[in-house]
Chains A and B, each alone.
Chain A
Amino acid sequence: MKMIAKKPESLTGAKYHYCPGCSHGIIHRLVAEAMDELNIREQTIGICPVGCSVLAYDYFNCDMLEAAHGRAPAIATAIKRLLPDRYLFTYQGDGDLASIGMGEIVHASLRGEKITTIFVNNTLYGMTGGQMAPTTLLGQVTTTSPYGRKVEWEGYPAKMCELLSCNEGAAYICRTAVNSPANIIKTKKAIKKAFQIQGQGLGFTLVEVLSTCPTNWGLSPADSLKWMEEHMIPYYPLGEFKVKGE
Chain B
Amino acid sequence: MQRVLMKGNEAIAEGAIRAGCRGFFGYPITPSSEIAEYMARKMPTIGGVFVQAESELAAINMVYGGAATGARVMTASSGPGISLKQEGISFLAEGELPCLIVDICRGGPGLGGIQPSQADYFQATRGGGHGDYYIIVLAPSSAQEMMDLTMLGFELADKHRTPVMLMAEGTLGNLIEPVLVRDEVTEFVDKPWAITGCLGRQPNIVNTLHMPVEQLQTRNQHLTEKYQAIRSQEIRSEEFLTEDADLILVAYGIMARIAKKAVMNARSLGIKTGLIRPITLWPYPYGVVNKIAQTCKAMVSIEISTTGQMIEDIKLATAGKVPIHYIGEIARTPNPEEITQQLLVIAAKEGLI
Q: Counting CB contacts under 8 A, is B230 at the interface?
A: no
Q: Which residues of A contact B91 (CB under 8 A)?
A: 68
Q: Which residues of B contact A41 (CB under 8 A)?
A: 198
CB atoms of B208 and A83 under 8 A apart: no
CB atoms of B205 and A64 under 8 A apart: yes
Name which residue of chain A comes closest to B195, CB basis: A63
Q: Counting CB contacts under 8 A, is B322 at the interface?
A: no
Q: Which residues of A contact B206 (CB under 8 A)?
A: 64-66
Q: Which of B23, B58, B198, B203 contacts A82 (CB 8 A)?
A: B23
CB atoms of A82 and B22 under 8 A apart: yes
In the bound assembly, the distance between CA atoms of A45 and B49 in angstroms comes to 19
Interface residues of B in 48-83 (CB under 8 A from A): 49, 51, 53-55, 57-59, 61-66, 68-69, 71, 73
Q: Which residues of A contact B204 (CB under 8 A)?
A: 63-64
Q: Which residues of B contact A75 (CB under 8 A)?
A: 61-62, 64-65, 68
Closest chain-A Cβ to B127's Cβ sits at a distance in Å of 16
Name which residue of chain B comes closest to A104, CB basis: B58
Among A82, A83, A107, which residue has the most Cβ atoms of chain B within 10 A?
A82
In the bound assembly, the distance between CA atoms of A64 and B61 in angstroms comes to 15
Q: Which of B49, B51, B61, B198 contacts A42 (CB 8 A)?
A: B198
In the bound assembly, the distance between CA atoms of A111 and B59 in angstroms comes to 14
CB atoms of A78 and B209 under 8 A apart: no
* Known A79-B66, A79-B68, A107-B54: A62·B197 in contact at CB below 8 Å: yes
Q: Which residues of A contact B53 (CB under 8 A)?
A: 74, 107
Q: Counting CB contacts under 8 A, is B88 at the interface?
A: yes
Q: Which residues of B contact A81 (CB under 8 A)?
A: 23, 49, 51, 66
Q: Which residues of B contact A71 (CB under 8 A)?
A: 57-58, 61, 64, 88
In the bound assembly, the distance between CA atoms of A82 and B23 in angstroms comes to 8
Interface size range on A against B = 20 to 34
CB atoms of A57 and B23 under 8 A apart: no
* Known A64-B205, A75-B64, A77-B51: A83·B198 in contact at CB below 8 Å: no
* Known A65-B206, A66-B206: A82·B69 in contact at CB below 8 Å: yes
Chain B interface helix/strand/loop/mixed: mixed
* Known A78-B51, A78-B63, A82-B49: A65·B68 in contact at CB below 8 Å: yes
In the bound assembly, the distance between CA atoms of A63 and B88 in angstroms comes to 20
Closest chain-A Cβ to B85's Cβ sits at a distance in Å of 11
Q: Which of A43, A74, A111 contacts B199 (CB 8 A)?
A: A43
CB atoms of A78 and B197 under 8 A apart: no
Q: How many residues of B contact A (CB 8 A)?
A: 37
Q: Which residues of B contact A63 (CB under 8 A)?
A: 195-198, 203-205
Q: Counting CB contacts under 8 A, is B200 at the interface?
A: yes
In the bound assembly, the distance between CA atoms of A162 and B197 in angstroms comes to 32
Closest chain-B Cβ to A239's Cβ sits at a distance in Å of 29
Name which residue of chain B comes closest to A79, CB basis: B65
In the bound assembly, the distance between CA atoms of A75 and B62 in angstroms comes to 5
Q: Which residues of A contact B209 (CB under 8 A)?
A: 54-55, 66
CB atoms of A76 and B65 under 8 A apart: yes
Q: Which of B22, B49, B51, B88 contacts A68 (CB 8 A)?
A: B88
* Known A71-B58, A104-B58: A78·B73 in contact at CB below 8 Å: yes
Chain B 289-310 interface mask (CB, 8 Å, partner A; 1/0)? 0000000000000000000000
9 closest pairs, A vs B, by CB?
Answer: A75-B65, A78-B65, A74-B61, A78-B62, A66-B207, A71-B61, A107-B54, A78-B66, A74-B58
On B, residues with C-beta under 8 Å from A are 22-23, 25, 49, 51, 53-55, 57-59, 61-66, 68-69, 71, 73, 87-88, 91, 195-200, 203-209
Q: With A64-B204, A74-B59 given, name 6 new contacts (CB 8 A).
A: A63-B197, A71-B58, A74-B62, A77-B51, A79-B66, A82-B66
